[in-house]
Amino acid sequence: MYTGKADADEKLAKVKFEIDKEAHITIEKARCLACREKPCIPACPAGNYTWNDEKNELGYNYEGCLECGTCRFICDREAISWSFPRGGFGVVYRWG
């Protein structure tokens, strides 16, 4: 039975990542800069997006991607290009 965040954290602790050197997420910086809301930041369940005020750019961590595709759908400026990682790479969900 799901009782809250602690259960989700326990399940995510079992997730394994096979990290590829080739990113499966890319950002078009000019389109991203024009976006004021930055919906990708709160929408990513893995918390892989951050805004860097010093660099004035979106930071992201493709290595920790849960492959849900939320970022691709929520970005109405189409600044995020997302695809599944190459075969043999990406997230591996483990039960138990």
Q: What is the β-pairing status of strands 25-27 and 80-82?
A: antiparallel
How much is the pLDDT for 12?
Answer: 73
How much is the pLDDT for 4?
Answer: 57
> Looking at domain 15-87, does it have CATH number 3.40.630.30?
no
How much is the pLDDT for 15?
Answer: 85
How much is the pLDDT for 1?
Answer: 52
How much is the pLDDT for 11?
Answer: 74
Structure tokens at 48: 């892989």
How much is the pLDDT for 45?
Answer: 92
How much is the pLDDT for 3?
Answer: 60
Question: Is the Cβ–Cβ distance between 61 and 48 less than 8 Å?
Answer: yes
Q: Mean pLDDT in runs of 10 for the chain (96 residues)?
A: 64 86 95 94 95 94 95 95 94 79
